């Protein structure tokens, strides 16, 4: 371990995330193999009582490692230019209206992000001088990396086309997207100044899946005059519906009242001011975005209401409904709910109906209906299940649920700030894992738990999703995604149950350490398991 890391780790585990690993990996040696051998060497030293110096153990481990051979198995490194990479050093500046986004399923990075991207390009194109627009003949979108590999199953081409014709995720009617599916040759006129250009799904091109991209979810959008490019922009859908582009600079924001980079710092603000994490978050929302408390609450209410609505509409679907796509997956939310309600054991009833709520919202996502990113579309069943259970079953006061939404947002912000919310970068741990962690913080806060318990619950839920891969069958956000939302919801409740019943001060792992593990695991995970549908269930499940 470097001196820098030694100084940083005891008090501030997130101070230097570049120094996550125990040893420098020798050049020409496969990192994973080296670490396994190094760890095995360390464990052996403990078991035998034989103290081997760190440097000697590293050298021995290196000697047993075969040369690196699988460069192609590693995900391309994220470009240091991306804001999503740079921002980890400063205070958290995300706000709830950026984080909780309403849009069509099934994937925030593959539907909401691309739709925002092409809508952004459409806005830029309208600002070109009239003489240039007069020459325009064609609009073209090229999808790369994971967007190309699994975009078909996510409806990325329809989302990208909808943005080009001026539709926004929060207001687009899902029926508009469904109609494109039913009539793929449909042509839409796009008005650019006096010019009208026809676009169709043929203008959305599934391009290279592998290459030296700045981000796994890269796409370009062009306005052409014959073969001449009038306007071109490279974009990145960086997870949770967030987007960046080449040359992106984040919008200027006000300084937060209580700046924090870690859960430790956030909790210190709450404890020093004898208040809650939710109150600190509300003060920051107001100072960063320049909004009143009433305005922040109004936004939270909109999201809470949208979450309960997705559960209700999912539960109301016919029991024999079949989700779109080649899997021909039958929806099960309504059946699970009905049968669970008849269960003679109260605890089983509770687990069954909570699962049904998550299945309901997640199936809505699978249908491409409107969902809420919390933090993503694939994980859009988790938070709504807990919100619905708290609001509609437990009848918890709305203000407590609003507070819970703020604490949950803090958890999501920290994971985004130091790790990732994108399955293309970190697998499913970054989606369902973060969602479950957020939902645990929501539940603990709604039940007035102290800040230690809120942190412990969030930590526990995240910890027990570490390493979870993303392998959607046939590229559709259905298997394992829909049931996985149910497990994420139940684990969130379990995490709250443990955290609120254990002796909080004895909880061994803190949230920042687990976020660090999330970042490290994301970095080391084989790229096949990062939303490519090339491995895991996507490979083992055979569709007939």
Q: How far is the CB of 477 from ligand SF4 (least distance, A)?
A: 5
User: Please, which residue, 352 or 480, has the CB nearer to ligand SF4?
Assistant: 480
Q: Decide the pairing of beta strands 228-239 and 188-192.
A: unpaired
Q: What are phi and psi of 235, to 5 degrees?
A: -125, 165
User: Please, which residue, 220 or 469, has the CB nearer to ligand SF4?
Assistant: 469
Q: How far is the CB of 404 from ligand SF4 (least distance, A)?
A: 22
Q: Which of 199, 285, 531, 532 binds ligand SF4 (CB under 6 A)?
A: 531
Of residues 359-388, those binding ligand SF4 (CB under 6 A) = 378-379
Kindly state the helix (H) or strand (E) to which residue 165 belongs, with its residue range. Answer: none
Taking phi over 0 as left and psi of -120 to 50 as alpha, with beta for the rest, 125 belongs to alpha
The DSSP 8-state label assigned to residue 29 in this structure reads: B
Q: Is the peptide bond before 367 cis (omega within 30 degrees of 0)?
A: no
> Could you say whether residue 423 binds ligand SF4 (CB under 6 A)?
yes
Contact region with ligand SF4 (CB under 6 A), list: 81-89, 114-122, 428-436, 496-504: 428-436
Structure tokens at 29: 């040696």
From CA 344, how far away is CA 541, in angstroms rounded? 35
Q: Which of 285, 363, 431, 455 binds ligand SF4 (CB under 6 A)?
A: 431
From CA 340, how far away is CA 215, in angstroms rounded? 43
Q: Which of 296, 428, 454, 473 binds ligand SF4 (CB under 6 A)?
A: 428
Helices marked H in 140-262 — which ranges? 145-154, 156-164, 174-182
> Could you say whether residue 425 binds ligand SF4 (CB under 6 A)?
no
> Could you say whether residue 433 binds ligand SF4 (CB under 6 A)?
no
Torsion (CA) 364, 365, 367, 370 in degrees, nearest 10:
80
Of residues 315-354, those binding ligand SF4 (CB under 6 A) = none
Partners of 139 in beta bridges: 223
Q: DSSP readout, 304-332? A: HHHHHHHHHHHHTS-TT-B-SSTT-PBP-
> Could you say whether residue 488 binds ligand SF4 (CB under 6 A)?
no
User: Please, which residue, 147 or 197, has the CB nearer to ligand SF4?
Assistant: 147
User: Please, which residue, 263 or 421, has the CB nearer to ligand SF4?
Assistant: 421
User: Please, which residue, 244 or 531, has the CB nearer to ligand SF4?
Assistant: 531
User: Please, which residue, 459 or 531, has the CB nearer to ligand SF4?
Assistant: 531
Q: How far is the CB of 356 from ligand SF4 (least distance, A)?
A: 18
User: Please, which residue, 343 or 483, has the CB nearer to ligand SF4?
Assistant: 483
> Could you say whether residue 432 binds ligand SF4 (CB under 6 A)?
yes
Number of residues forming the site for ligand SF4 (CB under 6 A) = 13
Q: How far is the CB of 388 from ligand SF4 (least distance, A)?
A: 19
The closest residue (CB) to ligand SF4 is 378
User: Please, which residue, 65 or 408, has the CB nearer to ligand SF4?
Assistant: 408
User: Please, which residue, 256 or 412, has the CB nearer to ligand SF4?
Assistant: 412
Residue span 466-485 as binding mask against ligand SF4, x where in contact by CB under 6 A, dash where not:
----x-x----x--xx--x-
Nearest to 409, CA basis, from 349, 458, 447, 475: 458
Q: How far is the CB of 488 from ligand SF4 (least distance, A)?
A: 9
Q: What are phi and psi of 471, to 5 degrees?
A: -145, 60
Of residues 199-228, those binding ligand SF4 (CB under 6 A) = none
The DSSP 8-state label assigned to residue 528 in this structure reads: G
Structure tokens at 178: 């469904």
> Do residues 133 and 193 touch, judged by C-beta distance below 8 A?
yes
Q: How far is the CB of 203 from ligand SF4 (least distance, A)?
A: 26
Long-range interactions of 83-88: CB distance < 8 A, separation 24+: 83/244, 83/248, 83/249, 83/250, 84/215, 84/236, 84/238, 84/239, 84/242, 84/244, 84/416, 84/420, 87/250, 87/417, 88/14, 88/17, 88/261, 88/417, 88/418
User: Please, which residue, 455 or 471, has the CB nearer to ligand SF4?
Assistant: 471
Q: Which residues bind ligand SF4 (CB under 6 A)?
A: 378-379, 423, 428, 431-432, 470, 472, 477, 480-481, 484, 531
């Amino acid at each position: 371990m470097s001196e820098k890391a030694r100084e940083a780790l005891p008090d501030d585990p997130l101070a230097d995330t570049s120094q996550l690993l125990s040893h420098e990996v020798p050049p020409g040696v496969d990192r994973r193999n080296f670490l396994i051998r190094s760890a095995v060497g360390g464990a052996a030293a403990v078991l035998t009582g034989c103290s081997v110096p760190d440097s000697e153990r590293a050298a021995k481990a290196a000697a047993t490692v075969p040369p690196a051979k699988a460069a192609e198995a590693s995900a391309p490194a994220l470009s240091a230019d991306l804001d999503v990479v740079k921002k980890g050093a400063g205070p958290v500046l995300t706000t709830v209206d950026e984080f909780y986004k309403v849009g069509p399923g099934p994937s925030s990075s593959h539907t909401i992000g691309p739709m925002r991207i092409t809508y952004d390009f459409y806005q830029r194109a309208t600002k070109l001088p009239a003489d240039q627009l007069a020459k325009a003949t064609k609009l073209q979108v090229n999808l790369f990396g994971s967007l190309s590999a699994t975009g078909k199953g996510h409806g990325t081409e329809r989302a990208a086309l909808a943005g080009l014709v001026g539709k926004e995720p929060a207001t687009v009617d899902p029926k508009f997207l469904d109609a494109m599916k039913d009539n793929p040759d449909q042509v839409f006129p796009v008005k650019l100044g006096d010019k009208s250009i026809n676009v169709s799904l043929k203008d959305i091109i599934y391009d290279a899946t592998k290459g030296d991209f700045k981000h796994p979810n890269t796409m370009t959008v062009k306005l052409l005059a014959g073969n001449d490019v009038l306007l071109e922009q490279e974009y990145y859908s960086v997870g949770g519906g967030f987007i960046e582009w080449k040359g992106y600079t984040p919008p200027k924001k006000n300084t937060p009242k209580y700046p924090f980079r870690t859960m430790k710092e956030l909790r210190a603000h709450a404890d020093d001011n004898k208040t809650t994490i939710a109150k600190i978050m509300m003060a920051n929302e107001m100072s960063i975005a320049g909004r009143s408390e009433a305005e922040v609450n109004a936004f939270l209410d909109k999201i809470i209401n949208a979450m309960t609505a997705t559960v209700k509409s999912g539960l109301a679907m016919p029991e024999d409904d079949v989700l779109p796509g080649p899997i021909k997956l039958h929806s099960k939310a309504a059946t699970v709910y009905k049968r669970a309600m008849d269960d003679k054991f109260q605890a089983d009833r509770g687990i069954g109906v909570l699962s049904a709520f998550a299945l309901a919202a997640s199936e809505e996502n699978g249908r491409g209906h409107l969902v809420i990113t919390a933090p993503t579309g694939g994980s859009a069943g988790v938070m709504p299940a807990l919100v619905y259970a708290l609001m509609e079953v437990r009848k918890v006061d709305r203000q407590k649920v609003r507070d819970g939404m703020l604490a949950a947002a803090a958890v999501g912000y920290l994971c985004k700030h130091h790790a990732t919310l994108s399955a293309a970068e970190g697998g499913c741990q970054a989606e369902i894992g973060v969602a479950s962690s957020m939902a645990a913080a929501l539940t603990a806060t709604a039940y007035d738990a102290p800040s230690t318990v809120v942190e412990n619950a969030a930590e526990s839920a995240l910890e027990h999703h570490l390493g979870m891969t993303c392998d959607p069958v046939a590229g559709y956000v259905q298997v394992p995604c829909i049931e996985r939302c149910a497990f994420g919801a139940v684990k969130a409740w379990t995490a709250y149950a443990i955290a609120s019943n254990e002796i909080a001060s004895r909880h061994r792992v803190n949230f920042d350490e687990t976020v660090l593990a999330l970042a490290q695991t994301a970095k080391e995970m084989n790229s096949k398991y990062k939303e490519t549908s090339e491995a895991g269930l996507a490979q083992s499940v055979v569709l007939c």
